[in-house]
């Protein structure tokens, strides 16, 4: 599996999680830490200008969805 395939697989995993659960990954649930860490690391790369151009557009869509679910009570 190439690096691009791994990145896309993680992107799809996070996107599916957000669409299914209608919330962002929680830092309080251990099973969601990998997704949260990937989001934070990718955001950091994007802000530093180190993220590949083809990934920036996809990641922007993911951030828009995340913004929609920002501060949603996960225990409702």
Digit-coded pLDDT (tens) for 58-70: 999 999 999 988 8
Give the residues of the chain that fall short of pLDDT 70. Answer: 72-76
Summary mean pLDDT of the chain: 91
pTM of the model as a whole:
0.86
Q: Compute how many other C-beta atoms are within 10 angstroms of the C-beta atom of residue 23.
A: 19
* CA separation for the pair 45, 21 (Å, rounded): 26
CB 27 within 8 A of CB 9: no
Residue 56, SS3 per DSSP: helix
Q: Is 45 exposed, middle or buried (0-12, 13-18, 19+ CB in 10 A)?
A: middle
Q: Where are the domains of the chain?
A: 3-68
Residue 5: both structure tokens together: 């395939």
CB 44 within 8 A of CB 50: no
Q: What is the pLDDT of residue 49?
A: 95
Q: What is the pLDDT of residue 70?
A: 81
């Amino acid at each position: 599996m190439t690096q691009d395939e791994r990145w896309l697989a993680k992107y799809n995993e996070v996107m599916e999680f957000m669409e299914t659960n209608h919330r962002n990954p929680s830092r309080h649930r251990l099973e969601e830490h990998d997704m949260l860490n990937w989001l934070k690391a990718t955001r950091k790369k994007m802000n530093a200008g180190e993220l590949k151009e083809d990934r920036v557009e996809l990641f922007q869509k993911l951030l828009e969805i995340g913004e929609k679910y920002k501060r949603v009570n996960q225990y409702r």
